[in-house]
Structures are given as C-alpha cells and as structure tokens.
A and B are shown apart, each in its own frame.
Chain A
Amino acid sequence: MANTGDLVKIEGKEGILMPTTDPKITIIKLESGYNIAYKNAKVELVKEKEEITKTQNQKIESNPKLKNISILHCGGTVASKIDYKTGAVSALFEPSEFLNLFPELKDIANVKSELIAQMLSENMRFGHYNIMAKAIEEQIKKGVDGIILTQGTDTLHYTSAALSFMIENSPIPILILGSQRSSDRGSSDAAMNIVSAISFATQTDFKGVGVCMHADTNDEDCLIMQGTKVKKMHTSRRDAFRPINTKAIARINYKTKEITYLNEYNKEKNNLNITFFKENLKIGILKSRPNLFAEELEVYNNFDGLIIEGTGLGHISIRKVDDLTSENEIIKNKLEELTKKIPVVMTSQCTYGRIDMNVYSEGRTNIEMGILGNELDMTTETAFIKLAWLLSNDLDVKTNLNKNLRGEISERIENVFLN
C-alpha cells in the first residue's frame, strides 16, 4: 500500500503519489511536473517517500535603528501557501517562514510574527476577536511600534470594526490586511499589502485600527482605511475594500513608501482600554425585501439583538396596502413584539448613505415601534459589531448607538460615493 508522497508506478508511468478526495481517482505527479488522474488504478510502490528536512530559518538580528512591528496571523489567503502534498492552497503558514517570503521587510522594520488563529475568515466567531484583542494587548504592553494583523478578506471588515470598538485609545497603529490572490502565486497582492502596511506603521502618527489594502488594480498604492468605515465591495478584485461614506485616511506608495494623508485621523494618546465580546451573544441580521414573511422573525425571539438591513432610507414591509399585502401586518405585529424585548437596529442595504426614517410615514412608524439607528450611516457590518459590543459590555444601546465612539458615524458625508 503506497502513501502520499511515495514514488509509484501506474500503467507503466512513474510519479509521486498525490492525495485525492475522490477515492476512485488516483493522482500522480509526473517528472514533467504535470499531475495526471487515473480511475481505479493499480498502484505499484517504487520507493517510499523521503522525509523532507525542513530548512532552518536564519535568525535575524534586530536592528536598533528600525521600529519594531509585530505581525499577528489569523489565517486566510494572505497567510496561505501551496501544500505540494495535497496540491491545494491552504492556510498553513509557519510564521518564521514569513521573512523568507518577504526578505525586503528586514530593511523596513524589525518584524516578529506570530500565529494566533488559523482559519478562513468566514469561520470566525466573537471568541476569535477576544483572542486577537488579547494578543494585541500583549504586544502593546511589550512596547511594539505597530501591529499588523492578517486574516482572510471575507470578514476582514467585521474584524476591523470589532477591534476598533475593543481597543480604545490604541497608542500605536493597528493595521488589518489580507490578500485577494493567495501568496503562493507570483501575482499575489499579499506582498504589497504587507510591505505597505509595515512601511506606513513605521512612519505614521496615526493611532487606532485601520485596514490596509490595494487602492486600485495597480500594484502601486495601498489605502489606509478606518476600521469602522470600510467594506469588502467586490468578490475578487485586489481593490475590493473601499471606504464607505468617507475618504480613506491615507494613501501609501509601495515603491517610494511615501504617505499622502487624505482625511483627518486620530493622533491623540489616551489611556488604553481594552474590552471584549460576550462569546455566546446572539445578534441576527435580517434582510428586508419584497415578499418577506413574519415567520422569519420568529427565529429572533431568543436573540439578544437584531439588525434589519432595510431597503433605501431604512424600510421594511409593515403596511397592508391591498389584498396581496396582509402578511405585512403580521410582520409589523411581530416587529413590535421584538422591539419590546431586544434592540432592533436599522441599516441600509444601499451600503452608501444615511438612514433617514423621517422621510416616509413607514419610516416614522418604524421609529414609533422602537426601531433604532435613525440618522446613522454605519454599514450593516459595523452596526452589527457595534450592537454586539455594546451588549457585551452592558452599555445602554439606546444612548450609545447614536454616539460616535470610534469614528463609525459621519457628522457630514462628503461627495465620496463609490470612491
């Protein structure tokens, strides 16, 4: 019986046995580098695999002239490489391999990297935010000059909002980044995002949580965006992360390392205060839409809070207008019931713009029913995280939701649509 990695022979062809998920398919890697698949093949062992001795990583002396930056890895594409044994791109990454992959970093900062979580970002839970915040706290106490946190991009904007609320008055820049092309490929955006974030962190007086990703499709500039006002707006592009209802904090050139500040940002130093999430908290998100059923709201009876991602200015179907719309009355009754039990917050599926429930009478009915969030311009993701964080820390939702705690609410929205 041959194992993965062994040299085997199938139908006269020699190759290295590769693992497969389909038991009927056998895959070998030929001398030419090509993998070929066989159905129901007879596998003949030629030679057992040799254990690959891991190359010892060089110890890098720290340079007293350079700033100290810590990198915390939380999985995702940016921290992935090809597993030649499985042939898959996987989130397996020895932090020590990091400097081997990006050797230019040793001239920019003294970089230490640590693996604190290992997952594709859709799998994250509030508990992971607590692990991250604790790791960040530890690094800040050690006196590092900046922290880079890498993770998968899918929920990166949830993380940036969560850390923004958890870490109050950070004395250093904390930049979260990911990559849209895995770092095993030549065209990966990982190197530029990482190098730019570290360059920014070593030069800036910005204090707080930001996101550092490609400014556009070119490998030229990265944007530094405020953690509470950013969203993944494209499934696959490098420049998927955009600032919402605001400008980016800064732009940094990958080659020259030159920073251009584009917006006001926090430079103040105050007492660091780190708070956490209740890990068993249940917050729901309901998308308002045509043909909604009251039944969908039943789920939230046992929840701690609910975000309604409303249509337009902040609407949900609550009025019977003809024979076809009697369900809407039931929805309204159910909503009234819910708002008495838990905080219900309105956001908009438009992504850009502010909630205004005063424009239409239905909106005013929402306010009368106790739906919160009027006048706010938070993304659904930021509102979800803020609500969870307020509830986790026993802060009164009604009084704090409309308070601008971490720059999540715009006093005025400039002409920044689709920027």
Chain B
Amino acid sequence: MDYEKLGFKCGIEIHQQLEGKKLFCNCPTVIRKDTPDYSFTRQLRASAGESGNVDKAASYEQKKQKTFIYQGYNDTNCLVEQDEEPPRPVNQKAVETTLQVCKMLNCKIVDEIIFMRKVVVDGSNVSGFQRTALVGQDGYIEVNGRKIGIEAVCLEEEACQVIKRTEDTDIYNLSRLGIPLIEIATAPDIKNPKECQETAAKLGMFLRSTGACRRGIGSIRQDVNISIKEGYRVEVKGFQDLKSIPKISDFEVNRQVKEKEKQGPHVRKAEADFTTSFLRPMPGSGRMYPETDIPLVKIDLTNIKEIITLEKKQNKLEKDYSLNSDFASIAIKSGIDFPTLFNKYKNLEPKFIVNTILNLPKEIKKRHNVEIDILAHSEFILSSLDDNKISPSAIEEILLKLNNNEKINLDDYKAMPLEEIKNKIKEIMKENPDAPMGALMGKAMAAFKGKVDGKIVNEILRKLQ
C-alpha cells in the first residue's frame, strides 16, 4: 500500500498504569477477580454542558438507560471509588512519575496542574466522569532518527473493569477504578503502520524506564488514530499487543478506502481478527469541565530525577561488558543489578553470569520440572565458581540439591586444575595417535566423568592438535 499517496495520517495514544496507590485515594493498585465483598447499583445521567448541549458521546450512552452494578472489596476499595466521598489529594508519586516522563519526552510542562472531569456515562466511572489533567505538551520522541511529536502527556484515573453487559444492566468490578494512568498522545506524524509499532514500542520502553509502572496484561494499552486523505479521524481502541498494530492499521485503511468514511469522526474497537468495529461517536471538548474538588497542583521540578532509559542502560551494558544485545536486553528487563555481579565475580564471563541466573533456572524447569529460587543460591554458586572451587558443569546438580535442602560437599564437585586437565588430554592423545577429533572428545569426556566442562575440553583439544 502506498501510504504517502493515501495521505495516511496516524498518531497513537498510550495508556500506562502506575504501581503503588490510586490517584485520588490510598487504596492499593490491586486488580482483583475473586469474589467481591459487596455490590451497589447506580444510574447515570448525561448532564447538559456549557451551552445546554449534552456531549454527543455522553448522550449516545445515556440513550441506553442502563443500570450499573458495581462490585467492590472491603480491604482494597473505599468510599472514594464508590463516589461516596470527594477525592483525596492527588498521589504525589504519580505526579512525579508523570513529570519524569514529560522530561524524557522533551515536553513543555504546565505551570500548575488542573484536573478536569471528562464526562463518561457508560458506567465505567462511578462518578460519571474520569479525572484527567494535562501535564506536558509539545514534546517529541526520536524513532529511527525521525522526530515524532508528542502532543500531550496526561495523568488520569483508570476506569472500572466490565464484568458483564446485558441489555439493561452492566456489571463492573471496582478494583481497577482510580489506578493512575499516564496517557501519551503523539502528533499525527507517523508515516506508516510499521513506524506506528516502533513508536509504541519506544514509548513503552520509556515508560518502563521509570520503574513506576504496573506490569502484566492490560497494564499498558494502545489506541491508534488513523485517517486518510478526505476522510475523518477514526480512533481504534484496544490493541492487545504491539505486533497487531501494522496489520490492524492496514485493515482499517482498507476499510476507510472502501467505505469512503461517512460516519464522521468516531471510535472503533480492534478485534481479534484484525478488523475493527464501531464503538461510539468521538467525544467532543464539551465533555470536559474542571474538577473543583481538587485544588490546582503546584509543580516542583527540583526533586525530579532524570531517568536513564532502559535502552541507554542496555547499550551501556553491551559496551562495558561486551554482552550481545539479547543477553543485555534480558539482563535489563530482569531488573537485577548485573553490573555489581560482574564486578564482584571478575573471573567469570558476564555472559556466563547472565546465563546462569536467567536462563539456567528455565532449563532446569524444563528438564526436571523443578522451580529453582536462583537468587537465593546465586551468591554461593557464583562465588564458588569464581574461586574455582567447583566445576561449571556441576551447577545444575548443586542447585537441585540445594533446592532439596541437601548438604553440599564442595569436594565432590571440585573443578580440576587446568594443568591437570591438559595433562590428561595429552595422555589420551598419546594413547590414540590417529583418532579423529570427535573420538578424542568422547574419550576425554568419559575420563573426566562430567567434572570438566565440554567447552574447556574442546578448547584444549583444538589448541593441542
């Protein structure tokens, strides 16, 4: 498809949940699926805006005249989520994280934060609105050397999770409501679906670099705004994973070309089969009015630390410890402080350390179906290896024993001194002067009875030949 010719315009919105406490109360950010402790029912009405006009999206929802049932938990929900108490002061940690993200994205930060009420009457917010504030604007992010504009960085509250919809009643779970969300909206600078995916990936990486994000399914969501020449802007919501972005975008462009978009700006849902379906009209600016229960939030940038992105951390790891990008990437993602381990166990290869801590437990799980708490034993294992007290080939057996609380006699796993290995190999070579490399290897390994790493044997054999 010739995206340039089609006049393809695309921007994305990323919503990332933050970990810790909720944005306007002290409930924990725990999303639950267990049996709720209580439930209550509410009705919502669309209220007329400034000029007596009810917002389009809001009135669309109200026509459905639904009853909403909310299910909550005594220990993780409070009156704020029930809309029975005004919001508590804004979560300062969430504000700080948002300011850090604004700085990473080169945004101009507002002088004071004003929380707004964005009218939502589909029941997903008990109050009938979502609290949201614009924190930064006019920034940019570099993707493959191209600058993609950042229109806005907002801090807002997460909505309830829908449990069940019927014709006249929607049931919602209260536990997700109020979790802080950072929303990043790019300008429509994205030139094609592939760039869209890359931009989303980079923004996600920036967000994770703050260390303040929730993890797991649903903790980050992408919406994509797509339009083509002479068409209307269509927002596609609910991308399950980044990889589906190009495909769904392709399908959506095709749909827009075919249907010659007549519906006006609206919101669509990304389906599992990569198509999209009509969700609701695009909400207008009329649905925003100030949240008068929350005073303007003063901004203090003096304590906002600059974030080193995961990307930068990974590059540094690759350079400083000559790790390949795969190993550096999993090392960074794990959150484990590998540079400290690398510096502590200088006789061990960084790659070997990463492999032992991150990959070996997975292999053991596959081979023996045993969960190993590697971090509990890593110091013992790594220091023994570093001091050449044990052979690397013995790690697996030692870990299995440690896991069973068995005593370890280090002498059983003693690493053979290098000279001794060399001499033994020389001996074998002498005894079998005509044997090919493979046969020698087999004989040597049998002689060492697993106490010497195959790699070392192989290396010595090559050198001696």
Contacts of B43 in A (CB 8 A): 191-192, 219, 254
Contacts of A36 in B (CB 8 A): 110, 114, 134, 137
Q: A52 near B47 (CB under 8 angstroms)?
A: no
Q: Mark A74-99, 1 if CB is under 8 A from B, else 0.
A: 00000001101001110000000100
Instruction: Give Cα distance in the complex from A235 to B287, angstroms.
Output: 28
- Asked if A100 is at the interface of the complex by the 8 Å CB criterion, the answer is yes
Instruction: Give Cα distance in the complex from A38 to B296, angstroms.
Output: 11
Q: A33 near B286 (CB under 8 angstroms)?
A: yes
Q: B41 near A181 (CB under 8 angstroms)?
A: no
Q: A185 near B41 (CB under 8 angstroms)?
A: no
From A24-32, A323-331, A369-377, A390-398, the one touching the partner chain is A24-32
Contact of A87 with B292 at beta-carbon distance under 8 Å, contacts A32-B152, A36-B110, A187-B126 already known: yes
Checking B45, B129, B132 against A191 with a beta-carbon cut-off of 8 angstroms, the contacting residue is B45
Contacts of A82 in B (CB 8 A): 47, 49-50, 289
From B9-17, B117-125, B196-204, B346-354, the one touching the partner chain is B117-125
- Asked if B323 is at the interface of the complex by the 8 Å CB criterion, the answer is no
Q: A32 near B83 (CB under 8 angstroms)?
A: no
Q: A84 near B114 (CB under 8 angstroms)?
A: no
Q: Which residues, 141 to 181 on A, are CB-close (under 8 Å) to B?
A: 181
Contacts of A186 in B (CB 8 A): 44-47, 58, 119-121, 127-129
Q: Which residues, 7 to 33 on A, are CB-close (under 8 Å) to B?
A: 25, 27, 29-33
Contacts of B112 in A (CB 8 A): 25, 37, 39
Q: B85 near A236 (CB under 8 angstroms)?
A: yes
**Interface hub of B41, B112, B154 (most chain A Cβ within 10 A):** B112
Contact of A35 with B41 at beta-carbon distance under 8 Å, contacts A82-B289, A101-B48 already known: no
- Asked if B86 is at the interface of the complex by the 8 Å CB criterion, the answer is yes
Contacts of A188 in B (CB 8 A): 45, 47, 128
- Asked if A256 is at the interface of the complex by the 8 Å CB criterion, the answer is no
**Interface hub of B86, B116, B126, B290 (most chain A Cβ within 10 A):** B290
Q: B84 near A185 (CB under 8 angstroms)?
A: no
Checking B47, B58, B79, B118 against A184 with a beta-carbon cut-off of 8 angstroms, the contacting residue is B47
Q: Which residues, 154 to 176 on B, are CB-close (under 8 Å) to A?
A: 154
Contacts of B50 in A (CB 8 A): 52, 82, 84
Q: Smallest CB–CB gap between B118 and chain A, Å?
A: 7
Q: B51 near A219 (CB under 8 angstroms)?
A: no
Q: Mark A215-228, 1 if CB is under 8 A from B, else 0.
A: 01111100000000
Contacts of A386 in B (CB 8 A): none
Q: B289 near A87 (CB under 8 angstroms)?
A: yes
Nearest opposing residue in chain B for A254, CB measure: B43
Checking B40, B47, B284 against A185 with a beta-carbon cut-off of 8 angstroms, the contacting residue is B47
Q: Mark B15-53, 1 if CB is under 8 A from A, else 0.
A: 000000000000000000000000011111111111110
Instruction: Give Cα distance in the complex from A38 to B134, angstroms.
Output: 13
Contacts of A110 in B (CB 8 A): none
Contacts of B113 in A (CB 8 A): 37
Nearest opposing residue in chain A for B127, CB measure: A187
Instruction: Give Cα distance in the complex from A25 to B52, angstroms.
Output: 28
Q: Smallest CB–CB gap between B111 and chain A, Å?
A: 4
Contact of A31 with B128 at beta-carbon distance under 8 Å, contacts A185-B47, A192-B43, A219-B41 already known: no
- Asked if A238 is at the interface of the complex by the 8 Å CB criterion, the answer is yes
Instruction: Give Cα distance in the complex from A187 to B286, angstroms.
Output: 18
Contacts of A218 in B (CB 8 A): 40-42
- Asked if B285 is at the interface of the complex by the 8 Å CB criterion, the answer is yes
Nearest opposing residue in chain A for B49, CB measure: A84
- Asked if B288 is at the interface of the complex by the 8 Å CB criterion, the answer is yes
Contact of A52 with B51 at beta-carbon distance under 8 Å, contacts A39-B112, A184-B289, A187-B127 already known: yes
Interface residues on A, range: 35 or more
- Asked if A271 is at the interface of the complex by the 8 Å CB criterion, the answer is no
- Asked if B82 is at the interface of the complex by the 8 Å CB criterion, the answer is yes
**Interface hub of B51, B120, B154, B289 (most chain A Cβ within 10 A):** B289
Contacts of B290 in A (CB 8 A): 35, 87-88
Checking A34, A89, A181, A191 against B288 with a beta-carbon cut-off of 8 angstroms, the contacting residue is A34
Instruction: Give Cα distance in the complex from A334 to B285, angstroms.
Output: 64
Contacts of B45 in A (CB 8 A): 186, 188, 191
**Interface hub of A27, A82, A191 (most chain B Cβ within 10 A):** A82
Contact of A33 with B41 at beta-carbon distance under 8 Å, contacts A38-B111, A52-B51 already known: no
Instruction: Give Cα distance in the complex from A191 to B45, angstroms.
Output: 9
Q: Which residues, 169 to 216 on A, are CB-close (under 8 Å) to B?
A: 181, 183-188, 191-192, 216
Q: Smallest CB–CB gap between B70 and chain A, Å?
A: 10
Instruction: Give Cα distance in the complex from A185 to B129, angstroms.
Output: 7
Instruction: Give Cα distance in the complex from A410 to B82, angstroms.
Output: 35
Instruction: Give Cα distance in the complex from A37 to B134, angstroms.
Output: 10
Contacts of B286 in A (CB 8 A): 33
- Asked if A415 is at the interface of the complex by the 8 Å CB criterion, the answer is no
Instruction: Give Cα distance in the complex from A288 to B137, angstroms.
Output: 56
Instruction: Give Cα distance in the complex from A336 to B29, angstroms.
Output: 59
Q: B86 near A236 (CB under 8 angstroms)?
A: yes
Nearest opposing residue in chain A for B126, CB measure: A187
Instruction: Give Cα distance in the complex from A134 to B403, angstroms.
Output: 85
Contacts of A101 in B (CB 8 A): 47-48
Instruction: Give Cα distance in the complex from A318 to B8, angstroms.
Output: 85
Instruction: Give Cα distance in the complex from A83 to B133, angstroms.
Output: 19
Nearest opposing residue in chain A for B185, CB measure: A32
Contacts of B121 in A (CB 8 A): 186
Instruction: Give Cα distance in the complex from A39 to B299, angstroms.
Output: 11
Instruction: Give Cα distance in the complex from A238 to B83, angstroms.
Output: 9
Q: A32 near B285 (CB under 8 angstroms)?
A: yes
Contact of A238 with B287 at beta-carbon distance under 8 Å, contacts A25-B112, A186-B47, A186-B129 already known: no
Checking B52, B292, B296 against A55 with a beta-carbon cut-off of 8 angstroms, the contacting residue is B52
Instruction: Give Cα distance in the complex from A29 to B49, angstroms.
Output: 14
Instruction: Give Cα distance in the complex from A236 to B85, angstroms.
Output: 5
Instruction: Give Cα distance in the complex from A37 to B299, angstroms.
Output: 11
B interface, CB within 8 angstroms of A: 40-52, 58, 67, 79, 82-86, 110-114, 116-121, 126-129, 132-134, 137, 152, 154, 284-290, 292, 296
What are 24 sample pairs from A and B whose C-beta atoms fall under 8 A apart? A30-B134, A33-B288, A34-B134, A34-B152, A34-B154, A35-B134, A36-B110, A37-B114, A39-B111, A82-B49, A84-B49, A84-B289, A88-B290, A88-B292, A89-B292, A185-B117, A186-B47, A186-B119, A186-B120, A187-B83, A187-B127, A218-B41, A237-B79, A237-B84
10 cross-chain pairs, A with B, having the tightest CB-CB distances, nearest first? A186-B128, A33-B288, A33-B285, A84-B50, A87-B290, A37-B112, A34-B134, A187-B128, A186-B44, A39-B111
